C-alpha cells in the first residue's frame, strides 16, 4: 500500500475549516486585534528594531549632551518613536526618570499589542479543531437515510476525516507555532530595547544635574 498525497487535498474541507476559523476569530477578537495580529505576523522574519544602528545614532546624541550639557543640547531624530520621545523628554526635563518613563510607556503599548496578537492566534488555534469537527458533522449529515452507492459513501467519509485532520493541523502546525513566534519576537525586541535604554541612561548620567533637596520646614511653618 502506498499513500497518495492527492487524497489529502479537498477544497470544500479546507474551506470549512479555514473559513470558519477565520470568521469566528474575527468575531471573537474584533478588527483592532486582528489588525495588530496581521501587523505582528508581517513583522516575523525581519527585525523591526536594529539595536546597533540605534545605539550608533544615540552615540552622537550622548556626545552632544556631554559637550553642551542637557540645557543646550538639541534632540536628534532617530526615526524610532520611542527614542525620539525619550531623548526629547530627557533633554526637556533634564531627568533620567523622564527618559525611563517614556521608555516604560512605549514598552507597555508594545506589550499590549503583542499580547493581543498572541491571544488572537491562540483563540484561532482553539477554534480550528472545532471547525474540523463541524466539517465532519456537516459531511456525515449528507448521508441519506435510504443508503447510497459505495463511491459516494467513501467520498462522504473521506471529507469527514479530512476536515478533522485539517482542523488539527491548522491548530497545531500553523496557528499555535505562530503565536509562540510572535511572543518570542516581542520578548527579543524588548530585551534589546531595554539594553539600549540602560546603556543610554548610564552614558548621560554624569551630565544630569543632581536633584535639589527639599527645603527644610521650620517649626513655625509645620505648625
**pLDDT tens-digit profile of 96-145?**
999 999 999 999 999 999 999 999 999 999 999 999 999 998 888 876 66
Each residue's pLDDT tens digit, 203-222: 998 888 776 545 565 555 55
What value does the mean pLDDT take over residues 49-63? 90
- Higher pLDDT residue, 6 or 59? 59
Question: What's residue 171's pLDDT?
Answer: 97
Please name which of 174, 177, 170 lies closest in space to residue 132, comparing C-alpha atoms.
170
Provide the phi-psi class of 86: left if phi over 0, else alpha when psi is between -120 and 50, else beta: alpha
Mean pLDDT to the nearest integer, 71-93:
88
Instruction: Please choose, from the candidates 106, 113, 96, 70, the residue with its C-alpha nearest in 3D space to the C-alpha of residue 193.
Output: 106
Q: Are 34 and 120 in contact (CB under 8 A)?
A: yes
pLDDT above 90 for 172: yes
CA nearest to 156, candidates 133, 131, 135: 135
**pLDDT at residue 46 above 90?**
no
- 8 confidence band (pLDDT: 50, 70, 90): confident
12 Cβ partners below 8 Å, 6+ apart?
159
What integer pLDDT is reported at residue 215 of this predicted model? 52
pLDDT computed for residue 149 by the predictor = 56
pLDDT at 102: 94
Amino acid at each position: 500500500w502506498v499513500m497518495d498525497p492527492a487524497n489529502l487535498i479537498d477544497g470544500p474541507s479546507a474551506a470549512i475549516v479555514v473559513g470558519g476559523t477565520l470568521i469566528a476569530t474575527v468575531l471573537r477578537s474584533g478588527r483592532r486585534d486582528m489588525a495588530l495580529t496581521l501587523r505582528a505576523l508581517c513583522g516575523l522574519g525581519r527585525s523591526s528594531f536594529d539595536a546597533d544602528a540605534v545605539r550608533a545614532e544615540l552615540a552622537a546624541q550622548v556626545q552632544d549632551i556631554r559637550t553642551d550639557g542637557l540645557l543646550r543640547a538639541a534632540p536628534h531624530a532617530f526615526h524610532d518613536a520611542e527614542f525620539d520621545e525619550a531623548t526629547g523628554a530627557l533633554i526637556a526635563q533634564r531627568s533620567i526618570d523622564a527618559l525611563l518613563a517614556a521608555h516604560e510607556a512605549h514598552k507597555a503599548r508594545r506589550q499590549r499589542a503583542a499580547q493581543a496578537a498572541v491571544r488572537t492566534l491562540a483563540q484561532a488555534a482553539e477554534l480550528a479543531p472545532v471547525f474540523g469537527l463541524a466539517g465532519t458533522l456537516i459531511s456525515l449529515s449528507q448521508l441519506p437515510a435510504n443508503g447510497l452507492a459505495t463511491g459516494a459513501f467513501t467520498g462522504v467519509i473521506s471529507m469527514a476525516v479530512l476536515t478533522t485532520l485539517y482542523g488539527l493541523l491548522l491548530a497545531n502546525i500553523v496557528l499555535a507555532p505562530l503565536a509562540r513566534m510572535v511572543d518570542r519576537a516581542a520578548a527579543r525586541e524588548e530585551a534589546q530595547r531595554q539594553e539600549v535604554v540602560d546603556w543610554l541612561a548610564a552614558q548621560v548620567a554624569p551630565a544630569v544635574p543632581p536633584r535639589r533637596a527639599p527645603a527644610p520646614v521650620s517649626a513655625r511653618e509645620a505648625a
